[in-house]
């Protein structure tokens, strides 16, 4: 069902509910109650079709991919509980972009995190591996104003790298070809990416890119940096790799900037995600393996058959014992089941989470 039709159906049902509670006539209430019940059941049946695509299965039913991530200390910064908690939260936000339900993200020991994601294909597995391992340390560094002349002389041996600078390689795509350019970039960053509050992919005549928004202090610093170096270049460096090195045409105030380069749509979306949720410490993927479904398709099929048999025996027993009232109760049970699974589908609930909830409830 399309979003527009779903919205109109919801408005219609909301109007019926309002009419049902507003009226005081018993006959009108009975008619409205019947119409509401039939409409809700029909709506839920529509959302449930086809069930193999609409009902979400968790890791224990459909399997998935498991990553064991290790946090590594950098310099004097050690791995502590706060660092681990921050990494877990960042990884959770990055995993959310895949639209999967019920990922398992848990700390393992003092410096490792176990990530289990259900239902990923090969392309998504590669994307997840990149997302989980990228620190997203963003830096803005000024380029030496005479970089072209100095690079040429350094190659000839006539000059050395100026103090406070180092040679970096920028890769650009021009007319379908990748072109590498060596530039002199400051060793110390002029502005850090921790001032970025929001990042999102963009598309213009130059292709895909990433737009950035800074906080108040970051916007002020970025404006001062661009105002003081109009006509010069500054490099946008992500995890030590120069993404682009544009020329500062004019002072940039307002707290917004953009990163352009040789990005595909997928690259731009991934980069926006990690920039908005940076990690404080470097991480490495120590282990990657497939997680098989613990129940399997045969067990799922057996569970469906057992459930249908149990329902049939229940209907038979209450119909024999209660006669007509039993038939009414059976119909009510079917309606409740349709509404339950319809709600699970509409709100993206996961089937294993419901069964675990029922098992936990039965223990108490």
With a cut of 70, say whether residue 306 has pLDDT above it: yes
3-state secondary structure of 344: helix
Which segments within 175-219 are labelled E, that is strand? 177-186, 191-192, 196-204, 207-214
Determine the Cα–Cα distance for residues 299 and 175; give it in Å rounded to an integer: 54
The per-residue pLDDT for range 326-339, each reduced to its tens digit, is 888 888 888 888 88
Q: Cβ contacts of residue 202 below 8 Å, gap of 6+?
A: 208, 209, 210, 211, 258, 268
Determine the Cα–Cα distance for residues 297 and 90; give it in Å rounded to an integer: 33
The per-residue pLDDT for range 215-263, each reduced to its tens digit, is 888 889 888 988 999 888 888 888 788 877 888 888 888 888 887 766 7
What letter does residue 74 receive in the DSSP assignment?
Answer: B
What letter does residue 233 receive in the DSSP assignment?
Answer: B
The mean pLDDT value for 260-279 works out to 74
The pTM of this model reads 0.52
Classify burial at 213, counting beta carbons within 10 Å of its beta carbon; exposed 0-12, middle 13-18, buried 19 or more.
Answer: middle
**Mean pLDDT value across the chain:** 80
Determine the Cα–Cα distance for residues 67 and 132; give it in Å rounded to an integer: 9
Kindly indicate the confidence band of residue 175, based on its pLDDT and cuts at 50, 70 and 90. low
Per-residue pLDDT at 364: 44
């Amino acid at each position: 069902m399309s979003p527009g039709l779903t919205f109109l159906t919801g408005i219609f049902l909301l109007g019926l509910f309002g009419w049902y509670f507003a009226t005081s006539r018993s006959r009108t209430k009975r008619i409205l109650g019947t119409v509401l019940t039939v409409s809700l059941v029909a709506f839920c049946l529509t959302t449930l079709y086809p069930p193999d695509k609409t009902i979400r299965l968790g890791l224990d039913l459909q399997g998935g991919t498991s990553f064991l991530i290790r946090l590594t200390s950098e310099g004097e910064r050690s791995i502590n509980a706060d660092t681990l908690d921050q990494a877990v939260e960042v990884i959770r936000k990055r995993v959310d972009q895949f639209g999967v339900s019920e990922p398992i993200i848990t700390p393992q020991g003092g410096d490792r995190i176990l990530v289990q994601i259900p239902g990923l294909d090969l392309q998504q597995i590669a994307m997840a591996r990149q997302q989980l391992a990228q620190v997203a340390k963003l830096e803005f560094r000024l380029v030496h104003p005479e970089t072209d002349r100095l690079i040429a002389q350094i190659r000839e041996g006539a000059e050395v790298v100026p103090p406070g600078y180092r040679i970096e390689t920028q890769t650009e795509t021009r007319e379908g070809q990748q072109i590498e350019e060596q530039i002199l970039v400051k060793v110390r960053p002029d502005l850090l990416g921790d001032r970025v509050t929001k990042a999102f992919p963009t598309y213009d005549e130059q292709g895909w890119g990433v737009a950035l928004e800074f906080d108040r202090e970051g916007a002020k610093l970025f404006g001062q940096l661009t105002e003081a170096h109009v006509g010069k270049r500054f490099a946008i460096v992500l995890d030590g790799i120069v993404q682009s090195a544009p020329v500062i045409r004019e002072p940039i105030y307002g707290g917004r900037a953009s990163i352009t380069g040789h990005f595909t749509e997928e690259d731009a979306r991934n980069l926006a995600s990690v920039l908005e949720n940076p990690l404080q410490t470097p991480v490495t993927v120590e282990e990657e393996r497939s997680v098989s479904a613990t129940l399997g398709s045969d067990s799922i099929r057996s569970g469906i058959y057992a459930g249908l048999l149990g329902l049939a025996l229940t209907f038979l027993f209450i119909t024999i014992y209660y006669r007509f009232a039993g038939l009414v109760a059976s119909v009510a049970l079917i309606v409740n089941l349709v509404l339950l699974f319809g709600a699970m589908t509409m709100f993206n609930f996961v089937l294993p989470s419901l069964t675990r909830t029922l098992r936990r409830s039965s223990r108490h």
